[in-house]
């Protein structure tokens, strides 16, 4: 697999990654470095590392460079939820979707879970796609991503419907209550 780098808000081939000579980080050594150990294929103490990463970025006034879906390219579901829900839920709770507070919480929970799972099949490095590709011996990664594309498109449509019509997600909870 070829190496990639995240430079100036975009992913580029590692060999093409470069910064301008006037870059503040280059001139003043502003930067953040965080490493998460992987032991037996699992990230070790990931939430603590990500908390420290976020604090470090805040110290140099740098926002987290990834959205929830982009996080799915490199993180597992639970880590994404634990990292992002405390940030996004208060914002969502303060907006008016024509729902009560409990219904808004249920709707947002369903939507957040779907968005997280979509992130796990989103190119360029959706973790679930790598698992599928490892099981399909001899199939090129590009073919695996092509095979996932219809599911990705249907998930984006599903998210759009849930945002436009929150009642869809709440039909069953309303019936059961």
pLDDT of residue 8: 75
Q: Give me the pLDDT at residue 68, please.
A: 46
User: Is residue 13 helix, strand or coil?
Assistant: strand
Task: Give me the pLDDT at residue 153, please.
Answer: 92
Give per-10-residue mean pLDDT for the chain (177 aa).
74 84 71 70 70 77 62 62 80 85 88 84 74 82 88 92 88 82
Helix, strand or coil for residue 127? helix
- What DSSP element (H or E) covers 55? helix 46-59
User: Can you give the pTM of this predicted structure?
Assistant: 0.53
* Per-residue pLDDT, 70: 58
Q: Work out whether the CA dihedral 97, 101, 102, 105 comes out positive or negative.
A: positive
Q: What is the pLDDT of residue 67?
A: 53
CB 141 within 8 Å of CB 128 = no
- Amino acid 71: pLDDT: 56
Residues 6 or more apart in contact with residue 34 via CB below 8 angstroms? 49, 50, 52, 53, 56
């Amino acid at each position: 697999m070829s190496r990639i780098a995240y430079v100036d808000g975009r992913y580029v081939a590692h060999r093409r990654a470069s910064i301008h000579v006037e870059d503040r980080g280059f001139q003043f050594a502003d930067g953040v470095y965080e490493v998460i150990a992987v032991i037996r294929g699992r990230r070790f103490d990931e939430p603590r590392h990500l908390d420290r990463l976020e604090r470090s970025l805040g110290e140099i006034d740098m926002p987290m460079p990834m959205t929830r879906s982009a996080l799915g390219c490199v993180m597992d579901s639970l880590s994404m939820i634990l990292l992002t829900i405390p940030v996004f839920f208060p914002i969502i709770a303060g907006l008016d979707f024509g729902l009560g507070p409990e219904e808004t919480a249920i709707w947002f929970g369903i939507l957040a879970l779907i968005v997280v799972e979509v992130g796990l099949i989103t190119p360029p490095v959706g973790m679930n796609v790598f698992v599928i590709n490892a099981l399909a011996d001899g199939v090129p990664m590009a073919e695996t991503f092509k095979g996932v594309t219809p599911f990705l498109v249907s998930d984006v449509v599903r998210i759009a419907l849930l945002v436009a019509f929150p009642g869809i997600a709440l039909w069953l909870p309303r019936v059961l209550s």
